[in-house]
Amino acid sequence: MTAEPSPDSLSLPLELADFRPGSVWLAGAGPGDPGLLTLLALQGLRQADVIVHDALVGERIMALAAPSARLEFAGKRGGKPSAHQDDITNRLIELAREGHRVLRLKGGDPFVFGRGGEEAQALAERGIPFRIIPGITAGIAGPAYAGIPATHRTANQAVILATGHSCAGGPDWKALAATGAPLILYMAWKGLPGIAAALMEGGRSADTPVGVVTDATTERQRVLVTSLGACVADLEASGMEPPAIIVIGEVVRLRPVLDWLPKELPHG
């Protein structure tokens, strides 16, 4: 694997946006591979005075921050001690009011199950200038790095992104099963037994292929291909651990042909 370039050696070919003091950029860092950062996210890393970052933003991405930037950890991980969302939001407001250029850096995309909408709403209510910088979401990139396309003309004309963990009780899995569309699930590890059972009750066959991608797009990535009926037992026996993206649908059958990522290929 090649050495990581130092932050000082990185320069952008153009000025993409004005990162003003007293403002907040809500940016997605992508799923893990630094090569999937957007140029705007990289500019934010290079220009921010303070970077408030999540647990899923890896060390190789944080190494791209300007040496002068102050790093503040605000990770939220299921089942582990985490910062409270209100505290994170209030900290963003406080830092902006102190005149800092604040980068709120989240894994994936801030508006896809990332609470970026909640934080942006709070900033708007308090008159704090902000910018949204979309990132590549793990639900698309993770399967792609596993050779599983979100859509394929011969397999599906729609795809459903859903969370397996919700304070509002979660999706109606039987209704989603009835659509026939592939499901891409975030944060569904613990809820998978109930989700799989509900999908089969809703009409999905036990033979429906399932792909599980852990540590997507990083050098630790692992992939399990199983079926809806066997996925719970197979996942338990696999020794894999979250974070994971779970794909349920016919697109998983394309992995043997589209598995493009050589084991020796540097990534993440």
DSSP H stretches of helix in the chain: 39-47, 59-62, 85-97, 116-125, 138-145, 173-179, 192-201, 231-238, 255-258
Active site residue 1: no
Active site residue 106: no
Distances (CA, A) of 69 to 34, 87, 133, 214: 18, 21, 19, 30
How far apart, in whole angstroms, are the C-alpha atoms of residue 47 and residue 103? 9
From the candidates 62, 109, 187, 215, which is the catalytic residue?
A: 187
Which among 175, 166, 159 is positioned nearest to 247, based on CA atoms? 159
Left if phi > 0, otherwise alpha if psi is -120 to 50, otherwise beta: which for 115?
Answer: left
Active site residue 259: no
From the candidates 49, 76, 174, 259, which is the catalytic residue?
A: 76
Distances (CA, A) of 191 to 142, 166, 231: 20, 10, 12
From the candidates 54, 62, 106, 109, which is the catalytic residue?
A: 54
Residues that are catalytic: 54, 76, 187
